Amino acid sequence: MQAKPKEQDDAALLAALLAGELPDARGRFGAFGGRYVPETLVPALERLEAGVRDYLREPGFQEEFCHELFEWVGRPTALTPARGLSRAWGADVWLKREDLAHTGAHKINNAIGQALLAKRLGAKRVIAETGAGQHGVASAAACARIGLPCRVYMGAVDISRQAPNVDRMRRLGAEVVAVESGDKTLRAAIDEALRDWVSDPDGTYYLLGSAVGPHPYPYLVREMHRCIGDEARAQMLKQAGKLPDAVFACVGGGSNAIGLFHAFLGDPDVEIVGVEAGGIGSGLGQNAATLATGTPGVLQGSYTMILQDPNGQVQETQSVSAGLDYSGVGPEHAFLQSIGRVRYEAAGDADVLDALDEVCAEEGILTALETAHAFVGAREWARKNPGKTMLIGNSGRGDKDMSTLVQHPTTRARHAGA
């Protein structure tokens, strides 16, 4: 028997995804995803999966979620024509402004959505993990809004690096717990949160912060963020009168990117590009470019692309942007890469800092360091594809990055002031 060409398989897999048949019953997107967890975690995940099935599509839940997005988060967020960048790049550039959402980034969509789900499931308390602190702040805010106690696990190293966010979380009523085990950063914080969850799976809800981890989280988190792409697609048609030729987003765990990309996956003429943290180089340990440079493996409950050495030891990451510093990535992105629907590339620290300055100067928007990666990818694409229409996910604002930015004085402002 003759093997089917890969393109036919890829097209069938994309069709299955768009028809809602993926993730499949085992929580897989093609080869990726699934649920690689200890026996003790299975009941909690099955309970969550049942809750997702019962409530996510339920009209009452959707109505409450939409209300919170409208009245508290500030959705829909604006679609802004980027006139300065359009001029500078010779393109027609549009920005989806997640920086205008409450707490300054897309993360709040997922935090408020899951906090509402926690309430429906009868949870008495919420736990969350955080790396740089942004998801902890969003979770603390959402739990204050919904009226649930919130405990945030944070690596001891991150706590010392991110003091203002620790204070923010505490003011918003959360208890911040320092994690002294493992690498004392995000990975250890996720492990600790999972341990807490196992000890009380009925009373506790684990509010995971990106489209990663065991099934059903990658699916659940994507659904919480799909408003980004749904809004942006309708706004493009209304304001630009057409769909973009290309869509760009930065990819850490991949939540803002998957939320933006989903609405465009079924538009075959729209090119989709995810941009990861290229750090200081392409060598192992020098970046966080999981899809661009990693290999398949299991990390924190999911079969996905990860950064590991030839012995399967997970590698530390490096990036100027704390929010992209993770050795894994959401399995749906690994899947979209494997079927060739989305391309992933890496942007290095130096280019990222330069792009951030360009966005400031041209648009009057201080974008986040994470987000600036998407602008690097978009700028390079514009050079090769003049005159095209481009949509960039502006995932968050950069005020939180000032302590990093002051260490990298801008060259542009000096020109302007001279």
Ligand X SMILES: *Cc1c(COP(=O)(O)O)cnc(C)c1O
Per CB under 6 A, the segment of 115-123, 153-161, 348-356, 363-371 that binds ligand X is 363-371
For residues 34 and 254, which CB has a smaller minimum distance to ligand X in the complex? 254
Smallest distance from ligand X to CB 356, Å = 12
Binders of ligand X in range 46-65 (CB under 6 A): none
Per CB under 6 A, the segment of 86-94, 165-173, 285-293, 366-374 that binds ligand X is 366-374
For residues 105 and 247, which CB has a smaller minimum distance to ligand X in the complex? 105
For residues 148 and 208, which CB has a smaller minimum distance to ligand X in the complex? 208
Half-sphere exposure of 413 (CA within 13 A, CB side): 10
Q: Is 210 an interacting residue with respect to ligand X (CB under 6 A)?
A: yes
Lay out the site mask for ligand X across 240-259 (x = CB under 6 A, - = otherwise). Answer: ----------xxxxxxxx--
Burial tier of 377 (Cβ tally within 10 Å: 0-12, 13-18, 19+): buried
**Contact indicator for 23, 31 with CB cutoff of 8 Å:** no
**Contact indicator for 51, 219 with CB cutoff of 8 Å:** no
Q: Is 337 an interacting residue with respect to ligand X (CB under 6 A)?
A: no
For residues 256 and 338, which CB has a smaller minimum distance to ligand X in the complex? 256
Residue 75 gets which letter from DSSP? P
E strand residue ranges, 192-350: 204-207, 246-250, 271-279, 295-299, 302-306, 343-348
Q: Which two tokens stand for residue 278?
A: 């290229």
Smallest distance from ligand X to CB 148, Å = 22
Lay out the site mask for ligand X across 317-336 (x = CB under 6 A, - = otherwise). Answer: ------xx------------
Lay out the site mask for ligand X across 379-418 (x = CB under 6 A, - = otherwise). Answer: ----------------xx----------------------
**Strands of the sheet with 295-299, listed across from one edge:** 28-29, 32-33, 302-306, 295-299
Smallest distance from ligand X to CB 368, Å = 4
Q: Is 107 an interacting residue with respect to ligand X (CB under 6 A)?
A: yes
Q: Active-site positions?
A: 107, 129, 395
Q: Which residue's C-beta sits nearest to ligand X? A: 396
Measured N-to-C along each axis, helices 42-55 and 217-235 cross at an angle, to the nearest 10 degrees, of: 30
Among the listed residues 285, 274, 264, the one whose alpha carbon sits nearest the alpha carbon of residue 376? 274
For residues 133 and 244, which CB has a smaller minimum distance to ligand X in the complex? 133
Contacts of 141 (CB under 8 A, 6+ apart): 102, 103, 108, 111, 172
**Contact indicator for 114, 143 with CB cutoff of 8 Å:** no
E strand residue ranges, 143-238: 150-155, 175-179, 204-207
Per CB under 6 A, the segment of 16-24, 302-310, 355-363, 368-376 that binds ligand X is 368-376
For residues 198 and 405, which CB has a smaller minimum distance to ligand X in the complex? 405
CA distances from 227 to 60, 70, 109, 117, 255 (A): 17, 11, 8, 17, 12
List residues near ligand X by CB under 6 A: 105, 107, 134, 210, 250-257, 323-324, 368, 370-371, 395-396
